[in-house]
Amino acid sequence: MTNPEIAKANLKSKRVVVAGCSSYGRSLAITLAKAGNQITIIDKNKSKLDELSQLTDKSNRIIGFVGDATIMTDLIKLDISDVQLFVCTTNSDSTNALAGQKAQQMFGVEDIVCLMSDNSRQKLYESLGIKVINHSQITSESLASICLET
């Protein structure tokens, strides 16, 4: 889906938390904000959040929060009880899974999406109601598809 299609598909603005200001988290936050969502992105590294703020303007509706998405006090400060979507994009499968489970189990966030690269954990987390995006698998499939076309 392209950015205009995402904007059209998203008729109601959502409050979204993105855990991890990696290239995935940054790109996702910008795309979802442009679609009209209110985004809070949490990362331990303030300089990553500063980089993001330089890429966006005030109209993008992105708030940076220095903290750790696996720490209860940070999640409480974020007040995630009314978040409609919690997306975990850190470079650690374990961190993503833990942050997603805390958001789901302790704060009642219903829609959780986690990046993971370990196939063996994917079914476990999906059985818990967590949507898993396996970026290693998607990248491999895309590369194979392109290679087979040439």
Mean pLDDT of 5-26: 80
Domain range summary for the chain, segments of one domain joined by +:
3-149
- Count CA atoms within 13 Å of residue 81 on its CB side: 3
pTM equals 0.85
Here the contacts of 124-127 (C-beta below 8 Å, separation 24 or greater) are 125/97, 125/100
Given pLDDT bands bounded at 50, 70 and 90, which one contains residue 1? very low
- What's the whole-number mean pLDDT along residues 126-143? 87
pLDDT in tens, 37-72: 999 999 999 999 999 988 876 666 899 999 999 999
Phi and psi of 131, rounded to 5°? -80, 130
pLDDT of residue 24: 93
What CATH superfamily classification does 3-149 receive? Answer: NAD(P)-binding Rossmann-like Domain (3.40.50.720)
Q: Residue written as tokens 């006090």?
A: 73
Please give the C-alpha separations between residue 59 and each of 44, 53, 63, 76, in angstroms, as whole numbers.
24, 11, 11, 26
**Structure confidence at residue 150 (pLDDT):** 76
